[in-house]
Amino acid sequence: MTDILIAIISTIGALAILVASIGILRMPDFYLRLSVTVKAGTLGTGCLLACAAFMFDDVSVTTKTISIVFFLILTNPIGAHLIAKTAYHTKVEKWKGTHIDDLESINEKTETEAMDKQE
């Protein structure tokens, strides 16, 4: 029963990593590539580490894999957010199909407020 569970979870993890690698090639701009790779990569790595936790009967291995998965789930989205924010502020070109820019109005307000304070 454990072998079947490991096979299913590892297949899901491998497929998620495959989706992440295909997403790097297929997505049209940096922001979409980053989004796909972080989501699918986190899921894939988490599934493969869960397989390691199920496979080994040692408590220390299970504890380490659970802590690594927890760390990945916390840090990968935060790191991706900071990378995307930096890319936005350095004006990395967006895909022509991106019509909504929620940060544009916020940035205009902060720029005008900063200019008013300087005067």
Rounded to 5, what percent of the chain is helix, strand, coil?
85, 0, 15
d(CA 16, CA 22): 10
Q: How confident is the model at residue 16 (pLDDT cuts 50, 70, 90)?
A: very high
Tens digit of pLDDT for each residue in 49-72? 999 999 998 999 999 999 999 999
In this structure, are residues 19 and 40 in contact, taking their beta carbons and an 8 Å threshold? yes
Q: Tell whether pTM > 0.85.
A: no
Alpha helices in 1-119 (DSSP H): 2-26, 30-55, 59-89, 102-118
pLDDT of 107 strictly over 70? no
Name the residue ranges covered by the structural domains of the chain.
2-118
- Find tokens 């760390």 and name the residue: 71
CB 8, CB 43: distance < 8 Å:
no
Per-residue pLDDT band at 14 (split at 50, 70, 90): very high
Going from the C-alpha of 52 to that of each of 63, 86, 103, 119, the distances in angstroms are: 11, 35, 41, 61
Instruction: Tell me the per-residue pLDDT of 36-54, one tens digit each, with 9 for 90 and over.
Output: 999 998 999 999 999 999 9
